[in-house]
Amino acid sequence: MTTISLPLNSLQPDKRMAAAVTEGLVSQPKWLPSWLFYDAAGSRLFDQITELPEYYVTRTERGILSQRAEEIVAAAAGNEALQLVELGAGSCDKTRILLRAAVERQDTVLYEPVDVSATALAEAQQRIEAEIPGVLVSPRVEDYTHAFTLDPPLFGHRRMVIYIGSSIGNFEPHEAAGLLRNVRSALRAGDSILLGVDLVKDQSTLLDAYDDAAGVTADFNKNILVRLNREFGANFDLDAFAHRAVWNPTHSRIEMHLESRIGQAVQIPNLELNLCFRRGETIHTENSYKYRPGQAEALLRSAGFGAEHTWTDERGWFGVHLAAA
């Protein structure tokens, strides 16, 4: 799967999407960027995925955070007060565990979620301010996958950047390293990052998590075609494509694909594209990298982070890393 080349990032959102879709679908093999999943319907489907019995990811990370929140906040704060930055506003539920622990220590906490979606940020702000007195939410509408800057911290405060939910796993290794380097360069000595990574485990657990019995992940994957039909006038027949989740041991990742069940032609008039699919040909829609022990630590070190704490669950399925800037 090729990744979005830099010039695309400077385009307006609709042009960026058109350019990315065109680039991916004229490629061989065909691919689409996984950020296309997250329109309103896709975000709702992802919320449903996080509650599926097969999708252990969210539950396992939440368990670690619930058990370790005080420890994490104390280690990040040291002798100072803590303020929190979160990359993405989607993981409110787990972040609240950390915010509660921070408020216990210092009465008031500044929380700065960073997300491209103003709506997601407004919802997070409303929920958190209503539920956790003492938290002041200062949202930032920004694409944190590009260059990333932070204002100086409040006097006497350290920052902890929260990047949980295994979101790092949806980036190619070189992109993940670049993202962490950007975060590192926006931080000061004493600040830290809290990174949640999903770990390699037995193949059937991994495959079930990305191909659940209720078919929610299949709907999530196909939602990308629904979007192309609606936003670009495409004529994808959803029943003519099948959801496929594949474990790729060489790259240590789950891949999601949409496989053409038949030989077929698809038109996307607004992009002036006429596509041909062979029976069995796929569109590669997502990679979800699963880290091996020691790999996240090495990635953090290569991005310039220093001493770390690592917490895992008793099955060793998920890792939460706190690393110092």
Contact 164, 194 (CB under 8 A): yes
Closer residue to ligand AVI (CB): 83 or 95: 95
DSSP of 102-171: HHHHHS-EEEEEEES-HHHHHHHHHHHHHHSTTEEE--EE--TTS----PPPPTTEEEEEEE-TTGGGGS
Among the listed residues 17, 20, 32, 49, the single contact to ligand AVI using CB under 6 A: 49
Position 210 contacts ligand AVI (CB under 6 A): yes
Position 163 contacts ligand AVI (CB under 6 A): no
**Beta partners for residue 265, in sequence order:** 276
Judged by CB under 6 A, the stretch of 126-134, 144-152, 167-175, 293-301 that binds ligand AVI is: 167-175
H-helix or E-strand spanning residue 47 = helix 40-49
d(C-alpha 218, C-alpha 114), whole Å: 28
Among the listed residues 288, 290, 297, 320, the single contact to ligand AVI using CB under 6 A: 288
Of 251, 222, 249, which Cα lies nearest the Cα of 237? Answer: 222
d(C-alpha 103, C-alpha 82), whole Å: 10
For 308, the token pair is 């770390």
For the bound state, the minimum distance from the C-beta of residue 40 to ligand AVI, rounded and expressed in Å, comes to 16
Q: Binding string, 60-79, against ligand AVI, x = CB under 6 A?
A: --------------------
Closer residue to ligand AVI (CB): 167 or 282: 167
Strands 109-115 and 81-87: what pairing?
Answer: parallel
Position 33 contacts ligand AVI (CB under 6 A): no
Contact 284, 190 (CB under 8 A): no
Closer residue to ligand AVI (CB): 169 or 319: 169
Closer residue to ligand AVI (CB): 112 or 286: 286
Among the listed residues 1, 17, 21, 57, the single contact to ligand AVI using CB under 6 A: 57
Position 258 contacts ligand AVI (CB under 6 A): no
Position 166 contacts ligand AVI (CB under 6 A): yes
Position 167 contacts ligand AVI (CB under 6 A): yes
User: Site residues (CB under 6 A) for ligand AVI?
Assistant: 49, 57, 165-167, 169-170, 210, 217, 286, 288
